[in-house]
Structure 1
Amino acid sequence: MTVLLPVYGGSKHLDGLLKALEQDPYPDKEVIVTVDAPTEETRSLESEYPWVKFKWSKKRRGKVNALNEETANSSGEFLLFIDCDIKIVKERFLGKVAAALREKELVDIKKQIIRDSLMAKLVSYEYLSGSLTSYIFDNLNSSCPQLNGACFAIRRETFERLGGFNKVLYEDLDLAFRAFQSDVSYSFADDIVVMNAVDPELENWLKQRKRWGIGLVKWIKGNLIGLLRGISRDPFVFLAAFMVLSPSSLLIAASFLFSADSIIKVSSLGVLLSSRGLYQIPPSSLGQISTSISKSIAMLIAGYLSSSIVFFLAARRLNYEFNLLEFALYFFLYNPVWLIIILISLVRLILKKEPSELDWKV
Structure 2
Amino acid sequence: MEQLPLVSIICLCYNHARFLRPALNSVLAQTYPNLEILIVDDCSTDGSVRIIQEYLQAYPQLRFISTKYNRGNTTAFNMGWRGSSGRFILDFATDDVLLPERVAQQVQLFQQLGPSYGVVYSDAEYISDDSAHLYFHSQKHLPALDGDVFAEVLRRYFICPPSMLIRREVFEELGGYDETLAYEDFDFWVRSARKYKYAYLPEVTTQRRVHNRSLSSGWYQKGNLLLASTVVVCRKAATLIKTQEEREALTVRLKYEARHAYLTGNRKEAGQFLEMLQQVAGKQVLYRFIEVLNKYNIDLGFLRELYYRLRHKS
Both structures adopt the same fold (TM-score exceeding 0.5)? yes
Structure 2 residue matching 1:174: 3-state secondary structure: helix
Deviation string for 1:101-156 (max 9, x for gaps)?
22232112323311579xx96xx698854x325x1x32xx5334534433311111
Mapped contact 1:78–1:156 kept (Cα < 8 A): yes
Match of 1:194 among 181, 199, 206: 206
Separation in 2 of the partners of 1:37 and 1:340? 35
Letter in 1 for 2:142: L
Structure with the larger strand share: 2
Deviation string for 1:31-89 (max 9, x for gaps)?
1110011343432332234322121233012222222222122111111111222122x
Mapped contact 1:4–1:34 kept (Cα < 8 A): yes
Mapped contact 2:10–2:39 kept (Cα < 8 A): yes
Instruction: Specify the alignment match of 2:84 in structure 1.
Output: 74
1:50-65 to 2 correspondences below 5 Å? 50=59, 51-65=61-75
Instruction: Specify the alignment match of 1:94 in structure 2.
Output: 103
Letter in 1 for 2:12: P
Q: RMSD of aligned C-alpha atoms? A: 3.7
Relative to structure 1, is the Cα distance of residues 345 and 96 closer, same or farther in structure 2, using a 3 angstrom cutoff? farther
Larger RCO, structure (CA 8 Å, separation 6 or more): 1
Letter in 1 for 2:43: A
Mapped contact 1:10–1:42 kept (Cα < 8 A): no
Instruction: Specify the alignment match of 1:213 in structure 2.
Output: 227
Match of 2:21 among 4, 8, 15: 15
Structure 2 residue matching 1:176: 3-state secondary structure: helix
Mapped contact 1:5–1:81 kept (Cα < 8 A): yes
Instruction: Specify the alignment match of 2:298 in structure 1.
Output: none
Deviation string for 1:215-249 (max 9, x for gaps)?
2123213432324x35x14578x49x959xx9xx6
Mapped contact 2:125–2:206 kept (Cα < 8 A): yes
Instruction: Specify the alignment match of 1:185 in structure 2.
Output: 197
Structure 2 residue matching 1:217: 3-state secondary structure: helix
Instruction: Specify the alignment match of 1:224 in structure 2.
Output: 238
Structure 1 residue matching 2:52: 3-state secondary structure: helix
Mapped contact 2:43–2:68 kept (Cα < 8 A): yes
For the pair 1:176 / 2:189, whether they are aligned, the reply is yes
Deviation string for 1:186-209 (max 9, x for gaps)?
11222143121112489x933675
Q: Which structure has the larger Rg over C-alpha atoms?
A: 1
User: What is the TM-score of this pair, normalised by structure 2?
Assistant: 0.65
Structure 2 residue matching 1:12: 3-state secondary structure: helix
Relative to structure 1, is the Cα distance of residues 23 and 193 closer, same or farther in structure 2, using a 3 angstrom cutoff? closer
1:37-48 to 2 correspondences below 5 Å? 37-38=43-44, 39-48=46-55
In structure 1, the gaps of 5 or more residues are 254-335, 352-362
Structure with the larger helix share: 1
Relative to structure 1, is the Cα distance of residues 111 and 64 closer, same or farther in structure 2, using a 3 angstrom cutoff? same
Relative to structure 1, is the Cα distance of residues 19 and 347 closer, same or farther in structure 2, using a 3 angstrom cutoff? same
Mapped contact 1:97–1:192 kept (Cα < 8 A): no
Relative to structure 1, is the Cα distance of residues 127 and 165 closer, same or farther in structure 2, using a 3 angstrom cutoff? farther
Separation in 2 of the partners of 1:112 and 1:187? 19
In structure 2, the gaps of 5 or more residues are 1-6, 154-158, 276-293, 295-314
Structure 1 residue matching 2:161: 3-state secondary structure: coil
Separation in 1 of the partners of 2:54 and 2:264? 43
Return the offset for 1:29. Answer: 0.3
Mapped contact 2:29–2:100 kept (Cα < 8 A): no
Mapped contact 2:17–2:51 kept (Cα < 8 A): no
Separation in 1 of the partners of 2:9 and 2:246? 34
Separation in 2 of the partners of 1:220 and 1:87? 31
Separation in 2 of the partners of 1:72 and 1:52? 16
Number of positions where the alignment pairs a residue of Structure 1 with one of Structure 2: 248
